[in-house]
Structure formats: C-alpha cells, structure tokens
Amino acid sequence: MKTRDIEPFFATLKAANPMPVTELEYTSVFELLTAVLLSAQATDVSVNKATRRLFPIANTPQKILNLGVDRLEDYIKTIGLYHSKTKNLLATCEILLEQHGGQVPRTREALEKLPGVGRKTANVVLNSAFGEAVMAVDTHIFRVGNRTGLAPGKNPLEVELKLLKRIPPEYLVDAHHWLILLGRYVCMARKPLCWQCAVAPFCDFKPKTEPPSLLPQAKS
C-alpha cells in the first residue's frame, strides 16, 4: 500500500464506524481481561455466551477464586481449551490480589507476567480499557496487514511494529478495532468480499475471480 493511500484508507473506515469498540462484552477492566484471556482460539460470540453466565456470579478476582476449579470450568466449558484457561485465570486472579491489590495493572510488562496473557492480550487491555495507542495483532489483523499491503510481515510482532509506524497518529487508538472488524466480516481468509469493501481502492490485493452478480438472474 502506497503511503498516500493510508490516510484515506483509515478515513474511510472511520467514516463508516466513527466509534468502534470490541465485540467482547464487559463492564470493568477485570471483566475485559478475563474475556480476552478466554478468547484465545475462540470466537467472541462463544466467549460472550459463557461470560453472560459467569460475570453475574463472579466478576472480581476474589469471586473467581471462590468458585474453584470445578465450578469455574462449568461456566466456561463451552469455550475451547477451557481446562488450561481455568488454570490460567485462577492463577492470574491470585497474582492480581497478591501483587496488584485486586486491580488490573496498566503496563504491558506487568500484564504479560500474568498467566495466559501474552503481548496481544496485553495490548487489547491497554487499548480498550486504558485508551493507549497500541496494536493487538490477531489472525485477522495479521491477514489484513499482509493482504492489503498496509503492513506486510512474517510474524505478528513485525506486522504490529509496521502498523504503529505507518498508521497516522490520529487514527491509531481506534485502528485495532477497524482492522479486526474488516478482517472478520469483509477481508475474510478464504473468500474476501472485495467487491463490497469500501477500502478496496486503496488495497494492494487483487481478487483472482470476478464477484458474483448482485442482480437477480432472469429465468430462461
């Protein structure tokens, strides 16, 4: 993607969705951290279904610990890898209580020391909860960064650093949400909907096949 195309690319995304937010449901920073931790290799839809049952019962570190392994697993067993996620969430809650007064820390270094929290999860919390201009690169953003030519890279960190360098500052805080929604609903892995994409004029990707006709076919 040419440098001159980056500003109109994001201006178009902003015009379509001026105030983007994560699709994970939460009402506190701890709920967000929990939801993101549970979302690894799972859909936001499946996480939201589980947390709609969990959070009314336990939405603080102490309340999660009070559930114990078996009861917590019962709430999140519909989510993939729920055994390991239960272990990580309980361990994270212990650290939050012992080292952070039950609060979610506001630095990437401290967040990444929590079990089950990697760079992407830390960046989601820093961005969505604390409004920091960071970039959480998941599979959708990795694909969009490479496919569009906005930030080609061989790994998530390389894509992240290029995005931070190339995205205009005025768009950076919301860029994560715009790019993930673009990848989730339009720039999909197998069949990108290029003919429906508002930012296609700025994209390096050229579809190999023509789009299906959007007009009704006459009967013979």
User: Is 80 exceeded by the pLDDT of residue 165?
Assistant: yes
Report if residue 212 sits inside a domain. Answer: no
Q: Does residue 84 share a domain with residue 37? A: yes
Report if residue 216 sits inside a domain. Answer: no
The SS3 of residue 207 is coil
Report if residue 174 sits inside a domain. Answer: yes
Q: Does residue 166 share a domain with residue 196? A: yes
Q: Does residue 142 share a domain with residue 107? A: no
User: Is 80 exceeded by the pLDDT of residue 220?
Assistant: no
Q: Could you tell me the pLDDT band of residue 212, with boundaries at 50, 70 and 90?
A: low
Percent of the chain predicted with pLDDT > 90: 91
Rounded-to-integer distance, Cα 150 and Cα 24, Å: 26
Q: Is-catalytic flag, 208?
A: no
Q: Does residue 38 share a domain with residue 122? A: yes
Mean pLDDT of 81-93: 96
Rounded-to-integer distance, Cα 153 and Cα 145, Å: 8
Q: Does residue 45 share a domain with residue 107? A: yes
Which is catalytic among the residues 2, 74, 120, 154? 120
pLDDT of residue 215: 43
Q: Does residue 51 share a domain with residue 120? A: yes
- Please count the structural domains in the chain: 2
Q: Does residue 100 share a domain with residue 140? A: no
Please identify, among 73, 98, 128, the residue that sits at the C-terminal boundary of a domain: 128
Percent of the chain predicted with pLDDT > 70: 94
58: left (phi over 0), alpha (psi -120 to 50) or beta: beta
Report if residue 173 sits inside a domain. Answer: yes
Rounded-to-integer distance, Cα 59 and Cα 86, Å: 14
Mean pLDDT of 204-211: 74
Report if residue 55 sits inside a domain. Answer: yes
Question: Which tops the pLDDT comparison, 76 or 207?
Answer: 76
pLDDT of residue 216: 44
Which tokens sit at 106?
């506001």
Q: What integer best gives the mean pLDDT of the chain?
A: 93
Contacts of 185 (CB under 8 A, 6+ apart): none
* pLDDT tens-digit readout, 180-197: 999 999 999 999 999 999
Report if residue 160 sits inside a domain. Answer: yes
Q: Does residue 122 share a domain with residue 79? A: yes
* pLDDT tens-digit readout, 138-152: 999 999 999 999 999
Q: Could you tell me the pLDDT band of residue 209, with boundaries at 50, 70 and 90?
A: low
Which is catalytic among the residues 44, 138, 154, 219? 138
Please identify, among 128, 143, 178, the residue that sits at the C-terminal boundary of a domain: 128
Q: Does residue 150 share a domain with residue 95? A: no
Mean pLDDT of 54-70: 97
Mean pLDDT of 161-190: 96
Report if residue 211 sits inside a domain. Answer: no
> DSSP per residue over 67-126, as a string?
HHHHHHHHHHTTSTTHHHHHHHHHHHHHHHHHHSTTSPPSSHHHHHTSTT--HHHHHHHH
Range of the domain at 35: 29-128
Q: Does residue 43 share a domain with residue 124? A: yes
Q: Could you tell me the pLDDT band of residue 134, with boundaries at 50, 70 and 90?
A: very high
Q: Does residue 83 share a domain with residue 59? A: yes
Q: Does residue 163 share a domain with residue 108? A: no
Longest CA span, the chain: 74
User: Is 90 exceeded by the pLDDT of residue 210?
Assistant: no
Q: Are 150 and 4 in contact (CB under 8 A)?
A: no
Please identify, among 100, 128, 156, the residue that sits at the C-terminal boundary of a domain: 128
pLDDT of residue 206: 85
Q: Is-catalytic flag, 138?
A: yes
Report if residue 217 sits inside a domain. Answer: no
